[in-house]
Amino acid sequence: MNGVHDMGGMHGLGPIQAENEEPVFPERWEGRAFALTLAMAAWRKWTLDGSRHQRELIPSAEYLRMSYYEKWIAGLVELLVKSGLVTSTELERGKAVLDSPKAAPPLTADKVLPVLAHGRPASRDVSVLPRFRVGQRVRTRNMHPTGHTRLPRYARDKLGTIDRDRGVFVFPDTNAHSLDEKPQHVYSVRFGASELWGEQGAPQDAVYIDIWDDYLEPA
Amino acid sequence: MAFLAKMKAATNTPAQKPDHHHHQAIPSEVALRVKALESLLVEKGLVDPAALDALIDTYENKVGPRNGARVVARAWVDPAYKERLLINATAAIAELGYTGMQGEHMVVVENTPKVHNLVVCTLCSCYPWPVLGLPPVWYKSAPYRSRAVIDPRGVLREFGLQLAEDVEVRVWDSTSEVRFLVLPERPAGSEQLSEEALAALVTRNAMIGVAKVTLPQPGGHS
């Protein structure tokens, strides 16, 4: 979707405020918000792409106003209700509905380190033919889906060159909506800064973007 | 949906600056709501509070940029390791014991006198957790995400890094599940340093690509 989260190339979003010694979680609730999001993801009721998309659905003005983990919590609350793990009545009251069965959490303390160490690979060991090869000139599609996508607006309808084939990965545009994983090749594509930004790009510079097969056409 | 509505409304308090933190004596509205949400999820048996503590402890105390610094220092002293790192970063980084969440598919990009690499995620906040820990606020915030791709040289100047015109800047936008680590240039004059001493020089910012690795100035305090 063409949301404000897709902000590559925008002007006017203020100066970078680089702090070097900030704590990992400057406020305690931020750590809790982070951990709640990871712990609830362990239920596997939604995908990582789905949780990204949920945060993208935060209305643009609020998205820009919210701090980082506020967005995480806002997204999590919506996913909890959509998935049926929590009802809106329970959220309203802050209490479990009486006689609702008590669940057993999938992520217990003893599993945290092994789960983190294993991760959740997005690659798929399936045989899919690549439509493009390294060195080939390609053009990104001029596409504006209303759902989730990982082709940034600044890189649509642009010419680039395939630099690497990264292998086969799930496709965010379908995976986010719990549809088919649609595994396909992802390529590292090199775009000259002048192709992306015209005179504002330094001709010697480049942006490398990981691009799914479905986002590309032969040039 | 009053709770949900409040959850959103809580973000409208003027005290909350976008993507910036400050320290308040009284718990903020959002802090109270997160606490209420945690209580509900624990009551329903959906989360184990000890697992939350363990997650927080991991990223506050165990996993951070010291991991990445060890990878970089190893690559500087061991050419065979560096070769493996540039060919298959995920496997080479796993040799040092760093694996998993948000580092399942690692790529290392090497800075040279003629190429400078810079990492961003314009669409959200993708970052290589096993080697760098969780990202700093500036990396996740709108000013960096918006400008790194269109004005990388200007961004680098703000971080105190002025690059010559004949250096090629490569910006890596983390749109897929691939996560990037910059292998900075080893500083001149560091030939006598041990691997451990080299690792101590490597900063988080250098591994994102907004800084170079430098030797401490004689008489300085960095």
In a domain, residue B98? The reply is yes
Six-digit token pair at A95? 């209490």
CATH code (residue B84): 3.90.330.10
CATH code (residue A18): 1.10.472.20
Q: How confident is the model at residue B69 (pLDDT cuts 50, 70, 90)?
A: very high
Kindly identify which residue of chain A lies nearest to residue B123, measuring between CA atoms: A6
- Distance separating alpha carbons of residues B83 and B60, to the nearest angstrom: 31
First to last CA, chain A: 24
Q: What is the pTM of this model?
A: 0.94
Share of chain B residues as helix, strand and coil, in percent rounded to the nearest 5: 45, 10, 45
State what percent of residues in chain A have pLDDT above 90. Answer: 95
Six-digit token pair at A206? 């480049």
Q: Does one domain contain both B100 and B130?
A: yes
Q: Does one domain contain both B118 and B131?
A: yes
Q: Does one domain contain both A192 and A86?
A: no
Last residue of a domain, one of B62, B82, B108: B62
Q: Does one domain contain both B184 and B80?
A: yes
One-letter amino acid of B170: R
Handedness of CA B72, B74, B79, B84 (dihedral sign): negative
- The domain in which residue A199 lies consists of 137-218
- Distance separating alpha carbons of residues B140 and B125, to the nearest angstrom: 5
Q: Does one domain contain both A90 and A155?
A: no
Q: Does one domain contain both B39 and B74?
A: no
What are the φ and ψ backbone dihedral angles of B180, each rounded to 5 degrees? -110, 140
pLDDT tens digit string along A173-186? 999 998 899 999 99
Q: Does one domain contain both A56 and A142?
A: no
Six-digit token pair at A14? 């203020």
* Side-by-side strand order, sheet with A159-169: A216-218, A137-140, A159-169, A184-192, A206-212, B168-173, B115-120
In a domain, residue A183? The reply is yes
Residue A24 touches partner B, C-beta closer than 8 Å: yes
- The domain in which residue B158 lies consists of 64-208
Contact map slice: B 28-87 vs A, CB within 8 A: 28, 30-31, 33-41, 43-48, 50-56, 58-60, 63-64
Q: Does one domain contain both B47 and B68?
A: no
User: Looking at residues A200-206, what average pLDDT do you find?
Assistant: 97
In a domain, residue B7? The reply is no
Q: How confident is the model at residue B221 (pLDDT cuts 50, 70, 90)?
A: low
Q: Does one domain contain both B109 and B43?
A: no
Helix axes A68-83, A48-56, angle to 10 degrees: 110
Helix axes A68-83, B2-9, angle to 10 degrees: 160
In a domain, residue A79? The reply is yes
Would the pLDDT of B17 be above 80? no
Weakest-pLDDT range from A36-40, B24-28, B41-45: B24-28
Helix (H) or strand (E) holding B91: helix B89-95
Would the pLDDT of B14 be above 50? no
Contact map slice: A 126-145 vs B, CB within 8 A: none
- CB distance B142–A64 less than 8 Å? yes
Domain count, chain A: 2
Residue B170 touches partner A, C-beta closer than 8 Å: yes
Domain count, chain B: 2
Q: Is the ipTM value over 0.95, yes or no?
A: yes
pLDDT tens digit string along B75-112? 999 999 999 999 999 999 999 999 999 999 999 999 99
CATH code (residue A160): 2.30.30.50
User: Looking at residues B27-56, what average pLDDT do you find?
Assistant: 96
Residue B20 touches partner A, C-beta closer than 8 Å: yes
In a domain, residue B204? The reply is yes
Q: Does one domain contain both A115 and A150?
A: no
In a domain, residue A9? The reply is yes
User: Looking at residues A122-133, what average pLDDT do you find?
Assistant: 97
- CB distance B41–A154 less than 8 Å? no
Q: Does one domain contain both B68 and B78?
A: yes
Q: Does one domain contain both A116 and A142?
A: no
Q: Does one domain contain both B104 and B114?
A: yes
Q: How confident is the model at residue A138 (pLDDT cuts 50, 70, 90)?
A: very high
Q: Does one domain contain both A29 and A84?
A: yes
pLDDT confidence of residue A21: 84
pLDDT confidence of residue B60: 98
pLDDT tens digit string along B169-179? 999 999 999 99
Nearest-by-Cβ selection for A52 from B64, B103, B124: B124
In a domain, residue A132? The reply is no
Last residue of a domain, one of A120, A153, A170: A120
Helix (H) or strand (E) holding B67: helix B65-77
SS (H, E, C) chain A: CCCCCCCCCCCCCCCCCCCCCCCCCCCHHHHHHHHHHHHHHCCCCCCHHHHHHHHHCCCHHHHHHCCHHHHHHHHHHHHHHHHCCCCHHHHHHCCCCCCCCCCCCCCCHHHHHHHHHHCCCCECCCCCCCCCCCCCEEEECCCCCCCCCCCCHHHCCCEEEEEEEEEEECCHHHHCCCCCCCCEEEEEEEEEHHHHHHHHCCCCCEEEEEEEHHHEEEC
Active site residues of B: 121, 124-126
- CB distance B45–A105 less than 8 Å? yes
pLDDT confidence of residue A128: 97
Six-digit token pair at B121? 């995620």
In a domain, residue B165? The reply is yes
Nearest to A68 by CA among A39, A26, A40: A26
